[in-house]
């Protein structure tokens, strides 16, 4: 059975909305003058420090927000010690990507390379950053810690779509938030002292 709810009664002041409009404008102007004339404090890297009562806005790029440690920034490809990408073109990241924004073309290493026959490398590695939803699934799926989103950078503005197509060279040129291109993953590579010697003949 439907329940009849009586319409609440409003006073003349409430019906005119003059008083409520004035209250809203008063709050807006209070916030405006507080943030315009109050001194801004920044840390050594130029990040704005918020105080109690401040409005959570920044004047980017002059002011920058301190991103949390697990912030998912733009992608990057980590390097081996010889400067090559750690990616083995296993296609795990592109398979796990729900937006299907990762395109990889695998290739074999040259004859004589110790990695030939059991490991490949990405001849082409492209990420369409406009299609990316920044879910981090690619990072979780990668078995080699080759792709990361720890750059601490968000997508720069542009009016050209081509600027959002990050190829292998672009992804390898982006450092992590700590400024390095390597990874903390302890996985040893062929030629390193800790490598178990796995190759086509020994597996």
pLDDT of the residue at 169: 95
> Looking at residue 166, what is its pLDDT?
95
pLDDT tens for each residue of 25-61: 999 898 888 777 665 566 666 565 655 555 566 777 7
Q: Token pair of 167, please?
A: 């190829």
pLDDT(64) > 60:
yes
DSSP-assigned letter for residue 159: S
The b/e string for 10-42 (b: 16+ C-beta within 10 A; e otherwise) is: eeeeeeeeeeeeeeeeeeeeeeeeeeeeeeeee
Q: State the average pLDDT over residues 123-144.
A: 93
Distance in angstroms (rounded) separating the CA atoms of residues 77 and 81: 13
What sign results for the dihedral spanned by CA atoms 69, 71, 72, 73?
Answer: negative
Please tell me the predicted confidence (pLDDT) of residue 4: 86
Report for 77-81, 116-120, 131-135: range of highest mean pLDDT? 131-135
Among the ranges given (16-30, 89-103, 121-135, 174-188), the one the predictor scored with the smallest mean pLDDT: 174-188
Place 190 in a pLDDT band, splitting at 50, 70 and 90: low
pLDDT score at 196: 63
How far apart are the C-alpha atoms of 132 and 203, rounded to whole Å? 37
CATH 3.30.70.3270 residue window(s) in the chain = 76-172
72 vs 154: CA distance, rounded Å: 8
Q: What is the CA radius of gyration of the chain?
A: 27
Q: How far apart are CA 93 and CA 104, in angstroms?
A: 9
Mark out the alpha helices in the chain (DSSP H runs).
12-16, 18-37, 92-96, 137-141, 168-172
pLDDT digits (tens, 9 = 90+) for 18-30: 888 998 999 989 8
Query: pTM of the full predicted structure?
Result: 0.66
Structure tokens at 100: 């299907």
More confident residue, 121 or 187: 121
pLDDT category of residue 146 using cuts at 50, 70 and 90: very high
Q: Which CATH class is domain 76-172?
A: alpha beta
Q: What is the mean pLDDT of the chain?
A: 83
Nearest CA-CA partner of 146 in 130, 127, 132: 127
- Residue 43 is predicted with a pLDDT of 62
DSSP one-letter code for 83: S
Residue 15 banded pLDDT, cuts 50, 70, 90 = confident
How much is the pLDDT for 167?
95
CB atoms under 10 Å from CB of 186, counted, come to 7
Length of the chain: 203
Q: Which neighbouring-strand residues pair with 126? A: 103
Q: Is the pLDDT of residue 202 over 70?
A: no
């Amino acid at each position: 059975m439907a329940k009849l709810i009586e319409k609440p009664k409003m006073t003349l002041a409430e019906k005119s909305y003059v008083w409520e409009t004035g209250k809203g404008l008063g709050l807006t102007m209070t916030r405006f003058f507080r943030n315009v004339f109050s001194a801004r404090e920044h840390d050594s890297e130029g990040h704005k420090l918020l105080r109690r009562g401040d409005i959570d806005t920044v004047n980017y790029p002059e002011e920058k927000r301190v991103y949390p440690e697990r912030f998912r920034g733009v992608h990057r490809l980590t390097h081996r010690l010889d400067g090559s990408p750690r990616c083995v073109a296993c296609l795990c990241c592109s398979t796990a990507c729900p937006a299907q924004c990762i395109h990889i073309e695998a290739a074999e290493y040259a004859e004589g390379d110790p990695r030939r026959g059991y490991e490949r490398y990405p001849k082409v590695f492209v990420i369409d950053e406009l299609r990316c939803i920044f879910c981090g699934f690619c990072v979780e799926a990668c078995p080699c810690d080759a792709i990361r989103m720890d750059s601490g950078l968000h997508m720069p503005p542009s009016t050209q779509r081509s600027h959002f197509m990050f190829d292998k060279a672009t992804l390898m040129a982006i450092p992590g938030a700590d400024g390095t291109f390597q990874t903390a993953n302890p996985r040893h590579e062929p030629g390193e002292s800790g490598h178990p010697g796995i190759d086509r003949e020994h597996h």
